[in-house]
Amino acid sequence: MRFTPDNIHKGCQNCNTRTSGDTGAKFRADLVLRLGEDRVTEIDNDNTIYRWTIDECREIRNKYKTLVKEAGV
């Protein structure tokens, strides 16, 4: 799920460093508001193990570098 776009959300430094990403009830409730209950449940229940190749990781990295550059972030 690491590279699933619906599962990637910006968090403040405090949440990411002091609360390990705030994976509690508040985070889930906010996610349900953004994505809907069905999509969040789908993300929660996907336990598929996937072994990314180095080339796939590079491709994902390059894709998001391009998107960030286009967004001017």
Tell me what pLDDT residue 11 has.
67
- Is residue 11 a contact partner of residue 24, using CB atoms and an 8 Å limit? no
Across 23-29, average pLDDT: 76
Across 14-28, average pLDDT: 68
Across 24-52, average pLDDT: 87
% of the chain beyond a pLDDT of 70:
82
Smallest CA-to-CA distance from 34 within 10, 51, 16 is with 10
